[in-house]
Structures are given as structure tokens and as C-alpha cells.
């Protein structure tokens, strides 16, 4: 990817910089509901300036930004210390999946609300016995006239308590011995009686994710994405967008956190301690490597239209760096980093999940080995 800006790209950067200057959000509030509201408010503010989903095609409300402009967008967000939009699942996962596989009616109905931040999404993939081995899922969908009736259970469903829509995979055919067959991808309305959402308390004390019990929920047939029985391919599109997109989004956050920790270390006179300086330098380089790897992923997306399996590398590198950063924060701040309710204490506890969410590191290593490096399957 060539990161030398032409005059359009420089103008894009200047316009965004000027907008961010006057639209930067206030400080992040404490408390889960307040934080969600704050992030969605930021999402809507970005949308009002046409800055949500800059890379989306103009026909679906984006700016049709080039890949270099998308890179500029993330750079500038990081530079301004601004958070990521609230409905990342909609922008990064559901939107691109609908653009690749959804009917024109679904795209027209749903894409504008994703950009606007008016109807947030959740991802109903994992089940109690189907996480890494996702194709083992058992949630069942049965056709009933123009509708499908869904029965089953999902788990770890982030933001289900706030979501209007769910990307749901369910089994619609049970005869095939190959479990990847007979799966169908649905867009399920979360506001209906057949659903029970039970929050799961995490080590942070928050309940970011939930158990989702589905007992006779109904989905219209025209909310099937990519055709009946074709759900595995559609799911892979979502997963590849998740790994590549999240890696890209989160490298911005990592950069901000490395800078914040360096500032804390400087304030405590610890930059002269070679053990701290060494580890900060290492994290700085890793953040840069993740940034450049994410850019390389953009180039690959430009060539093939969709992100490829190499997005798994970014997500894996990010989760390791993020956990190392939280550990270093404890060493720099000492007991201050362990005070409940503080940002670093939250980070220390929350970052444990980074190597599990969106695909565990072990599974990502398998993908990189088999599908990027072409090593033989075990």
C-alpha cells in the first residue's frame, strides 16, 4: 500500500481533522449502560458528519473512501484520542456481510440504520458446545410458511441486551454427515417474545455478554442471508471481516493506550528505568507492526473484495500486545493499577478475554498455518 497522500487524500485528512477538532466526545463515563450510551452517541455524531463507515459505498450511505482514505480515517481517530463507534458489530461485521450476501431489500432496509447507529447488532454464533468448533452448533430453524421458527441457545452474545438485530446461524438441515452443511444465516429481530436474554457477569464486574435462550422466535423468510443451507460461507465472511476489521479498529486503541502508559511512566520518572523503557519500546514497535500489517490487509481486501485469512494475524498480534500492555501497566503503576473502577484495573481484567473473543489464539494460529502459510492440516 502506498501511503503517500495525493491532493484528494490530503483534503480528506484535513476535513476529518477539522471535524474531529470540534466534535471530539467528552470523557468516558463510568458504568456499563452509561458507557454504551456514550459510545452510541459518538457513533451517531460520526454518522451526522458522514464519518461512520467511510469505506462503505456511496449508494449505501458511505463515502466510498479509498483504502488509503480508510487508513487515514483510523490514523486520525487515533491521533484525536477519539473512541471507536458504538455499534462496531454492525459496521464491521453485519454491514459487510449484508453487502456481500444480503438481498437488495435487506441492504436497503438495514444498512442505513447501521450507519446511523439507530439499530445496534449482536452476533449469535457461539453456543455452549460450539465455540471454536462453531459448525457443531445445534440451534435449529424450522420453516413455517413464510417464517422460520428458531429453537436453541446461544452464549457469550455481546451487546444482546442493547441490540435490535442479531446475526444468527442455525441448523436448517440435519441429514448431512458434514456439519458445515445444512446451516443457514438469519437476521433475527431481538425485540420479540421468543427470546430471553440473561446477562453473564464477567471478571470486570460488567455483563458485556449474555446467554440467549431462543424459544420459538420467528424470523421472516426474507431475512435469510445468502440462501438456505449456505450459512457456513456467509458465516466465514462475517468472521473474516471480524478478525480483519477488529484488528484494524483495535490497533488504534492500542496506539492510544501505549501512548497513555508512556505518559504515566514519564510522569513517574520511570522512563530511565531500562526495564520499563525496553518493554514500552517493544510495545511501541508491536503497535506499529500491527498498524502496518492491518494496512497490508487493506491492500489484500482491495485486490480480492473481501478480507482474507491473514486478518487472523492482526487479531492474534493485537491480543498478545494488549495483554502485555495491561501487565506492564501494573508494573509501572504498582498498586494504583489494581484499584477497582480505574481504567488500568479494568484493562488488566478485560484483556484476558482478548485472546478468546473473535477466535482463540490457538485457532487463529491454525488458520494462519493452514490457510496463509499453506502448511499441511493436522
Ligand X SMILES: Cc1cc2nc3c(=O)[nH]c(=O)nc-3n(C[C@H](O)[C@H](O)[C@H](O)COP(=O)(O)OP(=O)(O)OC[C@H]3O[C@@H](n4cnc5c(N)ncnc54)[C@H](O)[C@@H]3O)c2cc1C
362 touches ligand X by CB under 6 A = yes
The candidate with the shortest Cα–Cα distance to 85, out of 248, 295, 204, 234, is 248
3-class secondary structure, 129: coil
SS3 260: helix
Number of residues that bind ligand X (CB under 6 A): 18
Of 76, 119, 127, 242, the catalytic one is 242
Q: Report the C-alpha gap between 50 and 115 in whole angstroms.
A: 9
Q: Determine contact, residues 199/207, Cβ cutoff 8 Å.
A: yes
Distance CA 149, CA 141 (A): 5
Out of 36, 125, 165, 344, the only residue in the binding site for ligand X (CB under 6 A) is 125
- Choose among 322, 299, 333, 319: nearest CA to 365: 319
Q: Based on the shown chain and the rule CB under 6 A, indicate whether residue 74 belongs to the binding site for ligand X.
A: no
Q: Of these, 68, 69, 139, 157, which contacts ligand X (CB under 6 A)?
A: 157
Stretch that binds ligand X, among 24-32, 77-85, 120-128, 218-226 (CB under 6 A): 120-128
**Is-contact 9 68, C-beta < 8 A?**
yes
Q: Confirm or reject binding of residue 356 to ligand X (CB under 6 A).
A: yes
CA nearest neighbour of 158 among 350, 364, 362, 366: 350
Choose, by CB under 6 A, the member of 60, 156, 248, 318 that binds ligand X. 156
Interaction of residue 126 with ligand X, rule CB under 6 A: yes
Q: Least Å distance between CB 315 and ligand X?
A: 11
Is residue 112 within 8 Å of 105, Cβ to Cβ? no
| Chain residue whose CB lies nearest ligand X | 131
Residue 127 a catalytic site member? no
Q: Which residues within the stretch 310-349 sit at the binding site for ligand X (CB under 6 A)?
A: none
Q: In the set 185, 209, 318, 344, which binds ligand X (CB under 6 A)?
A: 209
Any contact of residue 278 with ligand X (CB under 6 A)? no
DSSP for residue 56: S
- Which window, 9-17, 25-33, 121-129, 266-274, contacts ligand X (CB under 6 A)? 121-129
Smallest gap from residue 334 Cβ to ligand X (A): 27
Rounded CA gap, 226 and 185, in Å?
7
Interaction site with ligand X (CB under 6 A): 122-123, 125-126, 131-132, 156-158, 209, 353, 356-357, 359-360, 362-363, 366
Please list the active-site residues: 242
Amino acid at each position: 500500500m502506498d501511503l503517500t497522500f495525493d491532493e484528494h487524500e490530503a483534503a480528506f485528512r484535513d476535513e476529518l481533522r477539522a471535524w474531529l477538532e470540534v466534535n471530539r466526545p467528552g470523557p468516558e463515563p463510568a458504568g456499563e449502560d452509561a458507557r454504551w450510551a456514550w459510545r452510541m452517541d459518538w457513533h451517531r455524531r460520526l454518522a451526522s458528519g458522514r464519518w461512520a463507515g467511510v469505506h462503505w459505498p456511496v449508494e449505501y450511505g458511505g463515502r466510498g473512501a479509498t483504502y488509503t482514505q480508510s487508513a487515514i480515517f483510523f490514523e486520525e481517530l487515533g491521533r484525536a484520542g477519539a473512541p471507536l463507534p458504538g455499534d462496531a458489530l454492525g459496521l464491521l461485521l453485519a454491514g459487510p456481510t449484508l453487502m456481500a450476501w444480503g438481498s437488495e431489500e435487506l441492504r436497503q432496509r438495514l444498512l442505513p440504520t447501521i450507519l446511523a447507529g439507530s439499530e445496534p447488532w449482536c452476533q449469535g454464533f457461539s453456543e455452549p458446545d460450539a465455540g471454536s468448533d462453531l459448525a457443531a452448533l445445534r440451534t435449529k430453524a424450522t420453516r413455517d410458511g413464510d417464517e422460520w421458527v428458531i429453537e436453541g441457545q446461544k452464549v457469550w452474545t455481546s451487546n444482546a441486551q442493547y441490540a435490535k438485530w442479531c446475526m444468527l446461524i442455525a441448523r436448517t438441515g440435519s441429514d448431512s454427515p458434514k456439519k458445515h452443511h445444512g446451516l443457514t444465516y438469519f437476521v433475527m429481530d431481538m425485540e420479540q417474545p421468543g427470546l430471553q436474554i440473561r446477562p453473564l457477569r464477567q471478571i470486570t464486574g460488567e455483563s458485556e455478554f449474555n446467554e440467549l435462550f431462543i424459544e420459538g422466535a420467528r424470523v421472516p423468510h426474507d431475512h435469510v442471508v445468502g440462501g438456505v443451507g449456505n450459512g457456513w460461507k456467509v458465516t466465514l465472511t462475517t468472521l473474516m471481516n471480524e478478525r480483519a476489521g477488529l484488528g484494524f479498529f483495535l490497533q488504534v486503541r492500542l496506539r492510544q493506550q501505549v501512548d497513555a502508559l508512556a505518559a504515566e511512566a514519564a510522569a513517574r520518572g520511570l522512563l530511565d528505568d531500562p526495564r520499563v523503557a525496553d518493554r514500552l519500546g517493544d510495545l511501541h514497535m508491536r503497535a506499529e507492526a500491527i498498524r502496518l500489517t492491518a494496512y497490508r490487509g487493506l491492500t489484500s481486501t482491495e485486490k480480492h473484495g473481501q478480507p482474507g485469512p491473514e486478518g487472523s494475524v492482526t487479531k492474534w498480534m493485537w491480543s498478545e500486545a494488549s495483554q502485555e500492555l495491561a501487565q506492564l501497566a501494573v508494573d509501572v503503576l504498582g498498586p494504583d493499577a489494581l484499584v477497582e473502577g480505574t481504567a488500568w484495573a479494568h484493562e488488566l481484567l478485560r484483556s484476558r478475554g482478548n485472546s478468546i473473543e473473535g477466535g482463540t489464539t490457538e485457532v487463529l494460529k491454525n488458520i494462519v498455518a493452514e490457510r496463509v502459510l499453506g502448511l499441511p492440516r493436522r
